Amino acid sequence: GTRKGLCEDLYDIIMQEEIKAPESGAFDWTEVRQFNLMFKTHYGATSSGDEDAIYLRPETAQGIFVNFKNVMDTARVQIPFGIAQVGKAFRNEVVARQFVFRMREFEQMEMQYFVEPGNDEESYDNWLNSRIEWHKNLGIREENLRTVPHPEDKLAHYARAAADIQFNFPIGWQEVEGVHNRTDFDLTRHQEYSGKKMEYYDQKQQKRYTPYVIETSIGLDRCTLMVLCDAYREEEVDGDTRTVLKLHPKLAPTKVGIFPLIKKPELQELAKKIEFELRDEYNVLYDESGSIGKRYRRQDEAGTPFCVTVDFDGLEDNTVTIRYRDNMEQDRVSVDKLADVIRDGMKTWKPE
């Protein structure tokens, strides 16, 4: 039966057994209603019923399918190939809550990867692994990631396989991304309703087919929250609590903090010179206010991976102290080698 029919059957059981609402404890159920998860609006200066009704997109994927033929003809791509898109999507959530997990307007990053039927299962497995690797490359710790396949009886009607990539948030495991084998459902439906052929002609094999689609779909808002949650630490240091954001250096808003030890013109001059030299390659921050300890702490909270301190010894031998955010270790480095040390530190960084 239809979903509404199933709901009505369930409603009848609730009425017959006089089951009370679990939260309120009251017997106060409403009639069965159909909830629409799309936002409806009207185009034109005046709205006149349903003929000018339009809907805000509930996902970015459909725009990709509509443009499948355009991309194929203009980019001269051959299958397998993918189309990726970042953009806003809108869902008319019945109850918008749980912070970024149930929003009516959100940022979505999706990719539709078109493959030959028969190659879809292998491609699905490959993309599931690739996407896990992508999250790990953001610096997310492996133990905080897991994949949860959808059981066959819970799959969407068009899907052959689906899995969630979940992150262990402070509130528990939550979905960040979905990977789906959508078969040829979308292209055949667009073909059916538009009357335009969505087939691909494979020149090598001399045959036509409607491609299958492997989809990866991730919420950018959730992804950002995941990065912040995984990086945020509170550590005991000498009887004090240090708040530190152990971001992957490539994601850190500021890469290098540059400090003269005290406000002396000769130290400021060398610190400014280092700032000028590093600025071409990195987002750097010059800071001379407060004690060195406080300046380190400020940068720890902002996730700055490297801090460089200029002291009087450096004026004699052209060296500076570089201090690493994650373990607070310090090295003495020649000013000439500083850019190389930072570059190497960014490349070899590992989450801990």
CA angle 339, 326, 276 (to 5 degrees): 25
Q: What is the pLDDT of residue 69?
A: 86
CA neighbor of 211 nearest in space, from 237, 243, 186: 186
End-to-end CA distance of the chain: 51
DSSP 185-211: HHHHHHHHHH-----EEETTTTEEEPP
- Which amino acid appears at position 155 of this protein? L
Q: What is the model's pLDDT at position 7?
A: 63
Could you say which architecture CATH assigns to the domain 36-228? 2-Layer Sandwich (3.30)
The first and second tokens of residue 104, run together, are 């009516």
122: left (phi over 0), alpha (psi -120 to 50) or beta: alpha
- 239-290 pLDDT tens trace: 888 899 999 999 999 999 999 988 888 889 999 999 999 999 999 999 888 8
Residues of the chain with pLDDT under 70: 1-8, 32-36, 46-50, 94-97
The residues, any chain, with a CB within 8 Å of residue 144's CB and separated by 6 or more, are 167, 168, 230
Cα 133 to Cα 139: distance, rounded to the nearest angstrom: 10
Tell the CATH topology of 238-347: Rossmann fold (3.40.50)
- CA atoms of 74 and 145, how far apart (whole Å): 38
Place of tokens 């002609």: 201
Cα distance between residue 2 and residue 252, in whole Å: 50
Contacts for 251 with CB less than 8 Å, ≥ 6 apart? 138, 139, 227, 303
**3-class secondary structure, 9:** helix
pLDDT for position 32: 65
For residue 143, the model assigns a pLDDT of: 95
SS3 29: coil
Displacement of CA 244 from its chain's centroid (Å): 21
Helix (H) or strand (E) holding 274: helix 265-279
Instruction: Kindly tell me the burial class for residue 76, based on how many C-beta atoms sit within 10 Å of its own C-beta (0-12, 13-18, 19 or more).
Output: exposed
For residues 82 and 199, what is the distance between their CA atoms, to the nearest angstrom?
A: 15
Q: Is 305 helix (H, G, I), strand (E, B) or coil?
A: coil
Q: Is the separation of the CB atoms in 218 and 176 below 8 Å?
A: yes
pLDDT of residue 1: 44
Taking the domains of the chain in order of start, what are their residue ranges?
36-228, 238-347
The set of residues, in sequence order, having a beta carbon less than 8 Å from that of 119 and lying 6+ positions away, is 80, 212
